[in-house]
Amino acid sequence: MKAMRFVVPAVVALCWTQEANAVSEPERAEPQQAESIVVTAPRRGEAEVPAESEFGEEEIAGYGADSVDELLDLLAPSIDASGGEPVILVNGKEIGFDRSILGYPPEVLDRIAVLKAEAAARYGHPSGQRIVNLVLKNDYASRHATASTSRATGGGQHGGTLTVSQVAVAGEVRWNVQGRVSYDSALRKSARGVPADVASVDLVGHVSPIHGDQIDPALSDLVGEVVTVAAIPAVSATRPPALSDFVAGANRTHSADPAKFETLLPSRRNLSLDLGASRPLGPFNASLSVNASSSRSERLRGVPMSSLVLPADSPWSPFSDEVRLVRPLAGDRALRGENSSRSLSLSLTLTGTVGPWRTTLAGSYARSWARNRLERGIDTSLAQALVNTAAVGFHPYAAWSDRLLQTTGSRSDSESFGLRFNVARRVLELPAGPVAANLSIDASRSSSGYRPTEDSDDIASADIDARRQLGGEISFSIPVSRPDERTTGLLGALTVDLSMGGRRTTGSGLRKQYGGGFTWSPVPLLEVLGAFRHREMGPSSEQLGAPRVEMARRVYDFVRQEVAEPLWITGGNPLLHRGSRRTFSLDIRLRPLGSSVLSVNLGYRQNSSDGGIASFPELTPAIEAAFPERVVRDAEGRLQVVDARPINLAKTEDAELVSAIALRLPAPGTGQANQRTGNPLRFSLSLNHTWRLKSELLTHPSVPVIDQLAETGQTRHYLALQANAGKKGIGADLNATWSSPARVRSRHASAAERDYRYEPPLMIDVGAFIVPDELWVSAEGIGWLENLRISFEIDNLLDTYRSVRLSDGNVPPGFSRYEVDPLGRTVELSVRKRF
């Protein structure tokens, strides 16, 4: 805490001074000592709960992040070892639905404070939820432009991003605007040597016999040998060909590598615009946020080929007998899978105090639109009918229009309104401290529509769903024991949190929820946290009414042991029903050195649900057997459609142990120590381990329990290492992850040797940045390098992937190096200029 110290000398009253002049020297009183009066003012932006640890301006600069969002990701191991997303405050105030602060540059921050564990209950959040307070500088303004380019070292794929932003902060007033555009090119199979789904394609077309072993004896006589195939001549694009026109292309085709026209990764284009403003409004603070975005992706699915019968009496045939005409739609024009979406969201938040109540009122509105189109192939029946009738304007040899394509598609949209009201105050004074109460009420309305489209792109039908939700919760934070300067407290520092509430949704009754927790610190270097929560859950607006998206997706089909591209359906599922969920957690946080230099965390998590809601898991044999209605195959067993929308589960059981150790050097300063001199090099190191003890799901009481750790490829152990060394002007970081071996059990094999064994991968990412004018200070400046930051990153440094082998050691089809991880190692160069 900053303190202002004023030394006020003792002032002798005027009458005393006059009397003192009249007395003799021996009778003079001894001079009085000056008194010291200390006045302590809270720092700007302080939250109601003290900070457990802080990151100052120079320490923040040492991470080299582009935005507050990226910075929080880098600091995540030091914020919450369990990996949970923290609640964000700005200058000690809640921000409601406003997320614009995440796009601010890190330079706007004066400090980041990770609040003590009891802050969760004080601000009306579940026990164990971490609260982070972002304290902004009192006066800051900047314009930034960031350009980055990335490339896969294996070739075949590149991308780029351009971001332009402006931010201004003046006391309690702040605003920002940010525009961002990005592009990633498609990665084709030919760039990785991955074989295509077909052996070859003919980009021009050819004819072949239907009856006998040659196209036409007369053509064979002209060529001087038996002709079994003949390429379509170029002149046929403008006039009906003569028999002699086929001589040059006898026994030849215009074949091409089909892998050039199929993609492993689609091309992507994204555009977004963010606007945000916050300022005092009477006794309140008002924040407005607007976001608009647009995205589009396109996947190539191979050149469509058709096989037609060209009658002998066709005006386009010079042959004496009918022949088979094999040709593409239009040269190298490949089938496409297209997905596009647009979204608009607005939020308004008011925070302030009304008497003794701390209040927050937040409202939000969101609208989204999505469109999907999948080209399946040429409508051969229609093309054959046009050939048979010699339709006017139809040319069997020239390039065909897209109207001969068979397509499926859909349009979907969703709209939602949300309102949240929160009040909190101290309601009772206990010997250990005040009891804090928090009441929150929220309401929402959401609607969604889905419209399939036919080949003509006309709306065929519509499916519209609307839902309303109303909920509320009240929580209390009760201090039981609290040490002070004179005593350590009977139990140390102990706080108990209690909460209860309910929620009602359209078509569902009241769903109750309750929970409790405690935070106990018997000694300053040790903290123990426990939490229990029971919730009767219903599906969220997103789970019910998210826009439906249908797109071709590459997945491995364990049944046929091949790579397939089924129609993959995602979005909301209006048929979801309610369930219940119980969670229990116990955490021990230890600071052996009594500060933030070293912290050790140990935790246990247990989750169980009845009728719970979950995302559709990876399509393994066990999952397909549990949800056969979600998978559609053709007569030959090929995977055609997978409905991957959220599902209801009869029962789930999960348990895990988590541990983490974090080191920060030198020791972060507090109080006056935050006003540092110099620019020391800082180091941080964190190691996190997750040990999954149990992960079971039951889809229906009449079917066996699925052990996901033994059957569905889930890993039991997961390690994550993060290291950073940096100071203002230069820094580097390393991130490494490792997961233990796993197995997918093939229920369709008669022997265990068909099980799929996933090998443990080690993934390493490295990065570095430099700010030249922070390192080489010159009175004359350094020209265009001033206010410039250059960053370089390498993702997947070792170019590793999670390899898969059968029990006999062989690699199954579809699990080659680049079919599992097409991208591989990538490098990115980023340049940011501040104006």
755-813 residue pLDDT tens: 888 888 899 999 999 999 888 766 566 777 888 999 999 999 999 998 988 888 888 88
In the predicted structure, residue 485 carries a pLDDT above the cut 90: no
- For residue range 548-558, what is the model confidence (pLDDT) as tens digits? 778 778 888 88
Are 437 and 406 in contact by the 8 Å Cβ rule? The answer is: no
406-445 confidence digits (pLDDT tens): 998 888 888 999 999 999 998 999 988 889 899 999 999 9
Task: Compute how many other C-beta atoms are within 10 angstroms of the C-beta atom of residue 738.
Answer: 16
**Is residue 218 scored above 80 in pLDDT?**
yes
Mean pLDDT within 98-116: 91
Residue 393 CB neighbours (<10 A): 5
Q: How many CA atoms lie within 13 A of 37 on its CB side?
A: 5
pLDDT tier at 94 (50, 70, 90 boundaries)? confident
Check whether the bond before 666 is cis (ω within 30° of 0): yes
Write the pLDDT tens digit of every residue in 151-206: 999 999 999 999 999 999 999 999 999 999 999 999 999 999 988 878 889 999 99
Mean pLDDT of the chain: 86
pLDDT in tens, 590-601: 988 877 789 999
pLDDT tens, position by position, 321-336: 999 999 999 999 999 9
3-state secondary structure of 552: strand
Residue 617: pLDDT band with limits 50, 70, 90: confident
**CA-to-CA dists, residue 601 to 56, 77, 592, 738, 757, angstroms:** 23, 11, 11, 19, 32
pLDDT at 777: 67
Show the tokens assigned to 196.
Answer: 């295509």
* Domain range list for the chain: 4-39, 206-253
Beta bridge pairs of residue 365: 346, 417
On the question of pLDDT at 576 being above 90, the answer is no
- Give 305-312 contacts, CB < 8 A, sequence gap 24+: 305/198, 305/201, 305/202, 305/378, 306/378, 306/380, 306/383, 307/380, 308/380, 308/383, 308/384, 308/387, 308/396, 309/210, 309/384, 309/387, 310/207, 310/387, 310/396, 311/387, 311/388
> In the 8-state DSSP scheme, what is residue 459?
B
Cβ burial 611-638 (10 Å sphere, 16+ → b, else e): bbbeebbebbbbbbebbeebbebeeeee
pLDDT at 672: 40
**The pLDDT value given to residue 717:** 95
**Helix ranges, 518-643 (H):** 541-545, 621-626
Confidence of residue 269 (pLDDT cuts 50, 70, 90): very high
